[in-house]
Structure 1
C-alpha cells in the first residue's frame, strides 16, 4: 500500500509540474516572471509555480502522510513568490537581509526568512503531533531543518539543473527508505523530474518560489524520519553550509571538484 501510494504521488507530481509548466509558459507573458541567467540569456521563473503545483498535487494524492510536507512547501513557495515578484535585490544573502533589518529596513527577503521559519515550525509541529519520542525542543530543531533546507535549495539555484538534481538526490533515499517521510519525498522527486528538462536546457529556473518549496518539502520528509540526533546533525550541516555560502562560492567549489563538476554539468546542452 505504501509503495503504491508513493508511486502514485511521484507520478502525479511529475505530470502535474510538467503540465503546469507548459500551460503557464503559454499563457503568462508578464515580464516580472523573466530573469537573466548566469549566461546572459532570458529565462522564465514560471517553473517555480509549476513545481509548486506538482508538489501540491503529489502531496494531495499521498494524503495525510504528506500533510506536513504540503504545509511546508506551500508556505515556502508563497514567501518565495513574494521575493520573486516584489524583491528589489538590494540585499543579498542571509547576512545582507539581517543587516538591512538592523538598519531599520524590512526587505522582502527578511520577510521570507521569517515566514519560511514560521511555516517550517508549523509543519514540524504537525509532523510531530503523533510522535511521543520527540519533545518541544526537537520540534523547534525540526522547524529549523525545514527552513534551512528551503534556503539551501535556493542557494543552489544558480546553474541549470543544479537545485533540481540536489532535490532528486536528497529525496531518493528518503523515498526508498519507506515511511515515514516517503510520501513527501515522492512528491518532491516527481515534481522535480517533471520540470527538469526545461531547467537543464537553460530555458527556465525554479526561482525562490520553486527552490524554497523544493527544499522545504525535502526537509519535511527528513524530519518525519529523524529523531533528536538526526535533526541536530541536519541542522548543524545546513547552518554550516549557509554560513559558508556567505564567504565561499558554491559554484567555485563545484567547478574545482571533478566529481561535482561532472554531476553538475550532466544533462546540459554542449556549449
Structure 2
C-alpha cells in the first residue's frame, strides 16, 4: 500500500513538472539567463527551479489531503532555502575558487566572500536548524545526533553539487542515493518527500541528458538536500554512520582528484555516466 502511495506522489510530481517545465525553460531563455554547457553551447541555466515549484504544489496538496504530516513544512523550507542559495550561486557566482577548500581559503586568507562560501556557511546553518528541530533524546546523545544529521544534510547537498559537471551525473547520483534510502527505510513516511522530488527529476532528466538545459546549483542543491533530509530521518543508526563516512571520503577524494578523471578511468563508472547521454 505504501509503495502505491510513493508511486502516486512521484507520478503527480512528474505530471506537474511536465506541464510547467517548458514555461520555466522559456522564461529563463527570454530573461537571457543562459550559460555555455560543457560543449560551449548556450543553454538555459537554473532550470532546476522547476523542482521546487513542482514539489511545492504536490507537497501542499499532500499535506492538505492528510497524506503528509507537519514535517512537510520543514521539508519545503529545506529545499526552498537550499534552492535559493543555489540560485544566488547560479546568478552571481564566479569560478575564481572551486571546492570547499578553495572557497574557505578565499574567505580566511583573502577576506573575500565567494558565493560558494556563502552557500556553504548558510547551508550549514540551515542544516543545523533543521537538525535541532528534528532531534530526539537528551544530553550528549541528542547533540551528537543533531551534529550528525546536520553534517549529513550539508555534505549530501555538496556531494550532489559536485556531481553536476556533466549531463545527467547529478541526477544519477540522486537516483542511486534515493534507491539506497528507500531500500533501507521501506515504509517510512519521510520517503514521500524523496518520491516527490524523484518524480519531478525524472520529468526534467531528458533535457539534462541531452545537455539542452542545466539544473544549476538551484537544482542540484535541492536534490542534495532532499537526500540528506530523508537520510537523516530514515536511515537506522549503523547505516547513517556508514553513509556519513562515505560522504567524508567522497569529499576528501574530490578535493584531491578530479571526479571526471576518476570516472573516465573506471569502466563501470564511465558506463553509468554515459547512460542516456547524447
Same fold (TM over 0.5): yes
Contact 1:35 1:44 in 2 (8 A): yes
The aligned runs of 1:61-210 (5 Å cut-off) are: 61=62, 63-64=68-69, 65-102=71-108, 103-128=110-135, 131-132=136-137, 135-176=142-183, 177-210=186-219
Deviation at 1:55, TM superposition (A): 3.0
Contact 1:48 1:209 in 2 (8 A): yes
Q: Residue 256 of structure 2: SS of its match in structure 1? A: coil
Distance 1:72 1:144 in 2: 14
- Point out where structure 1 has 5 or more consecutive residues left out of the alignment: none
C-alpha change, 1:237 and 1:114, in structure 2 (3 Å) is: same
Deviation at 1:126, TM superposition (A): 3.3
TM-score (normalised: structure 2) = 0.88
Distance 2:218 2:117 in 1: 15
Q: Does 1:250 align with 2:259?
A: yes
Distance 1:86 1:138 in 2: 35
TM-score (normalised: structure 1) = 0.90
- Point out where structure 2 has 5 or more consecutive residues left out of the alignment: none
Contact 1:77 1:208 in 2 (8 A): yes
C-alpha change, 1:59 and 1:172, in structure 2 (3 Å) is: farther
The aligned runs of 1:14-25 (5 Å cut-off) are: 14-25=14-25
Deviation at 1:198, TM superposition (A): 0.5
C-alpha change, 1:58 and 1:259, in structure 2 (3 Å) is: farther
Q: Residue 204 of structure 1: SS of its match in structure 2? A: coil
Q: Residue 267 of structure 1: SS of its match in structure 2? A: coil
Among 195, 198, 221, the residue aligned to 2:230 = 221
Distance 1:186 1:159 in 2: 24
Structure 1 counterpart of 2:13? 13
Distance 1:157 1:262 in 2: 17
Structure 2 counterpart of 1:35? 35
Q: Residue 43 of structure 2: SS of its match in structure 1? A: strand
